[in-house]
Amino acid sequence: MAAAAGLVLTVLPGTADATPGRGVSAVTIFDHVIGDTDYVLKEITLAPGGSTGWHYHPGQVTGYVKQGVLSHNESDCASDGVYHAGQVISEESGAGYVHIGRNLGTTPVVLHVLYRSPVGQPLAVDVANPGCSFD
């Protein structure tokens, strides 16, 4: 669930202009390697007004919105979805899919996010704001 959630987690040192998340906490539920893939499940919470920061994922991400409403934007600043409790979000992998997840509501957003990443790669990589009026 990338929308996630991305969102916030084990991150390579970002660029000097990277926009790290704010109001985000994450708890690892499991982390298991099978072959050359690291499967990591996290529960991620975005506080009201919180953000994952701009980032991308080296591997595939699928998330489930357990609580709240997640607003998701691509690097062209356009919304690519608003996800409510009970919905699933999938995010593309790679540096070509820079995005941000934000909690624009008044209650926490809680996500269950499954990362399928190449072994040795971070779950997310922070990047600079691509020029949007928000971060």
Specify if 82 maps to a domain.
yes
Specify if 133 maps to a domain.
no
Backbone φ, ψ for residue 127 (5° rounding): -135, 170
Provide the CATH number for the domain around residue 18: 2.60.120.10
**What is the domain extent for residue 48?**
2-123
- DSSP SS3 for 85: coil
Render the burial of 31-56: b for 16+ CB within 10 Å, e for the rest: eeeeeeebebebebbbeeebbbbbbb
What is d(CA 126, CA 104) in angstroms, rounded to the nearest whole number? 20
Angle, alpha carbons 99-102-103 (nearest 5°): 165
Specify if 135 maps to a domain.
no
pLDDT of residue 119: 97
Specify if 15 maps to a domain.
yes
Domain count, the chain: 1
Confirm whether pTM is higher than 0.85: yes
Q: Tell me the per-residue pLDDT of 28-81, one tens digit each, with 9 for 90 and over.
A: 999 999 999 999 999 999 999 999 999 999 999 999 999 999 999 999 999 999
Specify if 130 maps to a domain.
no
Contact between 4 and 61 (Cβ < 8 Å): yes
Specify if 31 maps to a domain.
yes
Q: Tell me the per-residue pLDDT of 73-112, one tens digit each, with 9 for 90 and over.
A: 999 999 999 999 999 999 999 999 999 999 999 999 999 9
